[in-house]
């Protein structure tokens, strides 16, 4: 499925839209990390929590659940909740 | 720059300044800031500096360190305000960078339990020449990590991170510094790579003789904040800001603590407060501590205001380093070249460093984004860089 990448992670993907696969959000993030090593840990901590300013939307709905099931037709957006200076 | 006012005693030496005009190797200053890293290359005379940066613009960079064993490997501890922590490595002085494949991270705990997560890597220390490619990292919250492949992958030092008494050692979040409790001042004994010291804010100073499997506290003699009847045997009440081992005498360590300046001469296990001899108006509160590369009686501090609400700015707006040349018996003010007034500087614990030249170069960075240096052991100071972001760390090394 297509994944929208925020600007702060473009240093990994070099592209705003990338393709990744997985039956769950966790699998998709693992696939992203396989393609772009290191990208997952910038978004997900070692306790598998989505980091504080990272937001993940599946078909426009926000989720914090890494075992959220995915279908190939879903669209996924990773968003940075930018704040501060 | 304006000179010091006559109100402040200024001592000057002529000979070291003359020697500083000599040629020597290039000096590399590694400046870590809240918005990226900068490298400054000083010529042989340390008079002219070429800037290289920013690297990782927008990243919060807590430390940049050069591996003295190969003279070319740089490690950078970085994160952003919104992304998790990582490390970058360069073997060509920052022309290219590779990200760590496995940055420091605590183990994942079973479902339902509360595990720790690394917020940022705060401190980087290369091990000894006997352990090429081995590095240590101290994190926030307090964790100790080790790499055996030059920083590409990191594993926790389980004897420390899984210490049965870890909660008592590190205290709670309220015992740490405002941007997170930290493990810092990772020191490896050059005579024995299994002998390490670490400092924690909060948590005190601790020592291992077996490569990190077991740890002994070293807090005797360190004072806690007065007036609150705090138990000095509680590790979490201790806040060593910066601990340094003397390269010329690894049995001597100096420490700038939240509660004063200390020295210890091993095998003693008791710190002696040597900051009592600082001028009363200045006090002995501060963040960084720097030691001389060849003379274990000489060390520098950069005092901060520790009165009332603890502004941690230069006392009275008169910034100055202080030096002791007799292991802390007496201290001398070193402010020639610095602003004579109205300079409310803060110098963080990692933001003051020495090179190994003769005379020694001393460098510091302020939270207001200025890098200052002295080619003559602090006798005269001059700005090297201005208008940088908030400076978190300054390291110095000779290259070439």
Contacting residues of B for A83, CB less than 8 Å apart: 81
- As for the ipTM of the complex, it is 0.92
Sign for the pseudo-dihedral over CA of B162, B143, A37, B112: positive
Asked if A81 lies within 8 A of B82 by C-beta distance, the reply is yes
Q: Does B84 touch chain A (CB under 8 A)?
A: yes
Structure tokens that stand for B254 in this block: 């100096």
- Residue B148, Cβ neighbours under 10 Å: how many? 15
Residue B16 pLDDT > 60: no
The string of pLDDT tens digits covering residues A23-65 is 999 999 999 999 999 999 999 999 999 999 999 999 999 999 9
**Distance (Å, whole) CA B128 – CA B223:** 31
Give the neighbor-by-neighbor strand order of the sheet with B332-334. Answer: B286-291, B299-303, B321-324, B332-334
Residue B173 pLDDT > 70: no
- What is the gyration radius of the CA atoms in chain B, in angstroms? 20
Rounded percentage of chain B residues whose pLDDT exceeds 90: 83
Residue B46 pLDDT > 50: yes
**Distance (Å, whole) CA B295 – CA B310:** 32
Contacting residues of B for A44, CB less than 8 Å apart: 84
Residue B2 pLDDT > 70: no
Binning pLDDT at 50, 70 and 90, where does residue B8 land?
very low
Prediction pTM value: 0.93
Asked if B105 lies within 8 A of A41 by C-beta distance, the reply is yes
Asked if B117 lies within 8 A of A47 by C-beta distance, the reply is yes
Asked if B81 lies within 8 A of A51 by C-beta distance, the reply is no
Are residues A20 and A31 in contact, defined by beta-carbon separation less than 8 angstroms?
Answer: yes
Residue for token pair 């473009």: A10
Residue B115 pLDDT > 60: yes
Asked if A49 lies within 8 A of B117 by C-beta distance, the reply is yes
Structure tokens that stand for B253 in this block: 């360590």
Structure tokens that stand for B89 in this block: 């490595």
Burial (Cβ within 10 Å: 0-12, 13-18, ≥19) of residue B229? exposed
Please give the pLDDT value at position B4: 33
- What is the gyration radius of the CA atoms in chain A, in angstroms? 12
Among A38, A40, A48, A49, most B C-beta atoms within 10 A, so best to mutate, is A38
The string of pLDDT tens digits covering residues B334-356 is 999 999 999 999 999 999 999 99
Q: Would you list the domain boundaries of chain A?
A: 2-80
Return the residue of A nearest to B84 by Cα: A42
**Distance (Å, whole) CA B81 – CA B204:** 28
Task: Indicate the CATH number of A2-80 among 3.10.20.30, 3.40.50.10490, 3.30.390.50, 1.10.10.60.
Answer: 3.10.20.30
Question: Residue ranges of the alpha helices (H) in chain B?
Answer: 15-19, 158-161, 166-170
CA distance A70 to chain B (A): 22
Helix (H, G, I), strand (E, B) or coil at B173: helix
Please give the pLDDT value at position B11: 40
Please give the pLDDT value at position B98: 97
Residue B5 pLDDT > 70: no
State which fold the B15-104+117-399 domain adopts: Methylamine Dehydrogenase; Chain H (2.130.10)
Structure tokens that stand for B90 in this block: 């360069």
- Residue B309, Cβ neighbours under 10 Å: how many? 7
**Distance (Å, whole) CA A64 – CA B80:** 21
Residue B384 pLDDT > 60: yes
Residue B191 pLDDT > 70: yes
Are residues B381 and B335 in contact, defined by beta-carbon separation less than 8 angstroms?
Answer: yes
Residue B329 pLDDT > 70: yes
Tell me which of B358 and B180 has the higher pLDDT.
B358
Contacting residues of A for B86, CB less than 8 Å apart: 38, 41-42
- The values of phi and psi at residue B18, to 5°, are -65, -40
Q: Does B110 touch chain A (CB under 8 A)?
A: no
Rounded percentage of chain B residues whose pLDDT exceeds 70: 94
Give me the residue from B81, B82, B84 closest to A45, CB to CB.
Answer: B84
* Residue B350: DSSP 8-state: B
Q: Does B109 touch chain A (CB under 8 A)?
A: yes
Give me the residue from A48, A51, A81 closest to B84, CB to CB.
Answer: A51
Return the residue of B nearest to A33 by Cα: B101
**Distance (Å, whole) CA B138 – CA B121:** 6
- The values of phi and psi at residue A3, to 5°, are -120, 125
Give me the residue from A41, A45, A82 closest to B82, CB to CB.
Answer: A82
Structure tokens that stand for B129 in this block: 């020449």
Contacting residues of B for A49, CB less than 8 Å apart: 117
């Amino acid at each position: 499925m297509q994944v929208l990448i925020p600007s702060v992670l473009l240093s990994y993907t070099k592209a705003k839209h990338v393709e990744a696969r997985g039956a769950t959000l966790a699998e998709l993030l693992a696939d992203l990390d396989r393609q772009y090593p290191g990208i997952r840990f910038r978004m997900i901590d070692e306790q598998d929590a989505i980091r504080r300013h990272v937001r993940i939307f599946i078909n426009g709905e926000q989720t914090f659940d890494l075992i959220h099931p995915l279908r190939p037709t879903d669209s996924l957006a990773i968003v940075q909740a930018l704040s501060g200076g | 720059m304006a000179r010091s006012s006559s109100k402040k005693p200024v001592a000057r030496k002529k000979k070291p300044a003359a020697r500083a005009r000599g040629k020597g190797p290039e000096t590399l200053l590694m400046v870590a800031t809240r918005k990226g890293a900068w490298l400054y290359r000083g010529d042989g005379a340390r008079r002219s500096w070429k800037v290289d940066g920013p690297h990782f613009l927008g990243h919060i960079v807590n430390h940049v360190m050069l591996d003295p064993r190969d003279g070319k490997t740089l490690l950078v501890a970085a994160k952003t305000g919104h992304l998790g922590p990582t490390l970058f490595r360069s073997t060509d002085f920052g022309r290219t960078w590779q990200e760590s494949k496995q940055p420091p991270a605590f183990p994942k705990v079973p479902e339902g339990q509360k595990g720790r997560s690394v917020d940022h890597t705060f401190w980087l220390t290369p091990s000894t020449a006997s352990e090429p490619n081995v590095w240590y990292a101290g994190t926030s919250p307090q964790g100790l990590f080790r790499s055996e492949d030059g920083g590409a992958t990191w594993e926790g030092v389980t004897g420390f991170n899984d210490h049965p008494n870890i909660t008592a050692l590190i205290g709670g979040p309220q015992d740490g510094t405002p941007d997170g409790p930290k493990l810092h001042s990772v020191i490896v004994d050059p005579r024995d790579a299994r002998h390490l010291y670490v400092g924690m804010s909060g948590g005190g100073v601790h020592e291992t003789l077996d490569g990190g499997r077991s740890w002994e506290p070293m807090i005797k003699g360190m004072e806690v904040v007065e007036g609150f009847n705090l138990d000095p045997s509680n590790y979490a009440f201790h806040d060593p800001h910066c601990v340094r081992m003397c390269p010329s005498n690894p049995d001597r360590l100096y420490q700038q603590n939240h509660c004063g300046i200390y020295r210890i001469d091993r095998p003693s296990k008791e710190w002696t407060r040597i900051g009592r001899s600082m001028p009363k108006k200045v006090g002995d509160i501060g963040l960084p501590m720097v030691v001389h590369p060849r003379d274990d009686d000489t060390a520098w501090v950069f005092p901060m205001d520790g009165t009332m609400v603890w502004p941690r700015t230069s006392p009275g707006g008169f910034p100055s380093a202080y030096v002791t040349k007799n292991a802390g018996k007496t201290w001398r003010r070193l402010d020639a070249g610095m602003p004579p007034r109205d300079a409310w500087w803060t110098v963080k614990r990692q933001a003051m460093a020495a090179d190994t030249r003769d005379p020694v170069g001393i460098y510091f960075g302020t939270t207001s984004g200025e890098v200052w240096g002295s080619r003559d052991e602090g006798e005269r100071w001059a700005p090297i860089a201005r208008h940088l972001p908030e400076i978190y760390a300054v390291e110095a090394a000779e290259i070439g």
